Amino acid sequence: MANTSLFTSSRGALLPNATTRNEAGGLAYARSPKAALALYAATGCLNGTFYADAGEQLDMALKLCGEVEPGFVARTAIYARKVGHMKDMPALLLATLSVRDREAFAAAFPQVVDNGRMLRNVVQILRSGRVGRKSLGSLPKRLIRDWLQNASVDQIVSAAIGNDPSLGDIVKMVHPKPADAERQALYAWLIGKPYDADKLPEKVRAYEAFKKDPSRTLPDLPFQYYTSQPLTSSHWKTVATRASWQSLRQNLNHFARHGVFTDAYVLRKVVAKLTDEAAIRKARVLPYQLLTTFQATGDLPRAIGEALQDAMEIATRQVPKLEGDVVVAVDVSGSMSSAVTGYRKGATTVTRCVDVAALIAACVQRTNPLARVMPFDTVVRDLRLNPRDSVITQAQQLAKLCGGGTTVSAPLAKLNAEKAKVDLLVLISDNESWRDTRGSGATETMRQWAQIKARCPNAKLVCIDLQPYATSQTVEREDVLHVGGFSDVVFDLLASFAAEGIGARRWVDRIASMPL
């Protein structure tokens, strides 16, 4: 018999040693450059987070861009915009390509720059000097001119909302050649030069006439064109009923201040639009955005709050049915109180990471009522949710627990202590675990996961990260999937991994397969 003192079984001895420390000082695993860039693209808003300010986040994003090939940067930018519905980060990634790979920049540009807001973001970043240039250059100018020439009047009018730079500034930079007299007059109108009013597009002409005589019919233009105009209550009701779905959601309180919802007919129309399933899909609304709006409806009619809850049920209806024993571990520690899109003076969302984590957990339990939800900080907190409650109600109950240190391994340790059966464990966190750290070796989360696997060999672990940090408490492998972000694509990845396991495509693989 072999010497037992030398060959005694040691559970977890082959686990990979931690490779770094996280921002909180705990043992952690460094993500690969591609995985880290994907996480930054899906969660980074270039604003301050709990552990990093906006400048540090920008520096890390630029560093990661330099560590992967331009083609992956381009595909990540496209993914972040088209799938993750992000704004600032895809613009940054695209801008870096302008000095690295002209071909990749040109291929990604029309897929990332899909509206005027994105056009202004890219131009602002290019001219800032942070990506290696302070002027646009010939290729960016040509692509911007192409965008302007191909844009419809409605797209141009919408793109003209906003400054730093304004669309007029951009027109002055790139000097687009007007295709006809109407476009020539429109460009002149944008940059404040003399124009032939009779040649302006009809809705712009009507807007200029309305400014001179507000008794005229209110032109059908975006809400922002009227914020400085002396509109009547009747005008505001017209604006509200015409507003796009997203504009309506974002300006409910503004409309309320102008007496829009005192009209029962208008209120019914607004409620109908907010709960219109096709409009919700088209708007690409993210669940956390609905939660943010709901949190700000305290003084609005009850029908508006109920409509937003209905909209949330519609927006999260695609959450999959998961088989087997499902556990959702929700980090409610203090660092999860960070605003999910970061801190920015005057523009910080009230929605925190813990709100989004709770929202994801509530969505899973809504379609999987037998799923076990385990909120944790340094220990697992006691809370029983009612799956029949609305998604928003469940999320609010979870989020109320926020506070304390972070021990990501806590829910896994509790499952092991109970010898619980686990088929799928979903772990939602910012991964800043520190209370369960040690001097060296594997993280405690990986040690506890090894025990779960010894008891439940087919168990799978999905780690959903909500913040742009380059470390994790687990190593991605056949039974462990990493995914980041707060768009509904998280549910798609969760479903495919739960169903396919080893055969499922990884998050980074999906990004790498984006058409360029």
Inside any domain, residue 450: yes
Inside any domain, residue 365: yes
Identify the CA nearest to 157 among candidates 113, 221, 211, 98: 221
DSSP secondary structure letter of residue 171: H
Q: What is the pLDDT of residue 501?
A: 75
Inside any domain, residue 349: yes
Domain count for the chain, please give it. Answer: 1
Inside any domain, residue 287: no
Inside any domain, residue 330: yes
Inside any domain, residue 326: yes
Inside any domain, residue 104: no
d(CA 369, CA 465): 23
Sheet containing strand 372-376, edge to edge, reads 372-376, 326-331, 424-429, 460-465, 480-484
Which domain does 422 fall in, by range? 319-512
The CATH number of the domain holding residue 491 is 3.40.50.410
d(CA 175, CA 232): 39
Distances (CA, A) of 79 to 67, 94, 507, 514: 18, 11, 11, 7
What parts of the chain have a pLDDT lower than 50?
Answer: 1, 4-10, 12-13
Q: What is the pLDDT of residue 2?
A: 52
pLDDT tens-digit profile of 423-469?
Answer: 999 999 999 999 999 888 999 999 999 999 999 999 999 999 988 88
d(CA 506, CA 279): 31
Sheet containing strand 471-472, edge to edge, reads 20-21, 27-30, 471-472
Identify the CA nearest to 392 among candidates 363, 368, 424: 363
Read off the pTM: 0.89
Angle, CA 510 vertex, CA 506 and CA 513 arms, to 5°? 135
Under DSSP, is residue 372 helix (H, G, I), strand (E, B) or coil?
strand
d(CA 463, CA 357): 11
d(CA 423, CA 441): 27
The separation between CA 75 and the C-alpha centre of its own chain, rounded to angstroms, equals 17
d(CA 133, CA 146): 21
Inside any domain, residue 117: no
Q: What are the two backbone dihedrals, phi and then psi, of residue 433, each rounded to the nearest 5 degrees?
A: -75, 140
d(CA 471, CA 23): 9
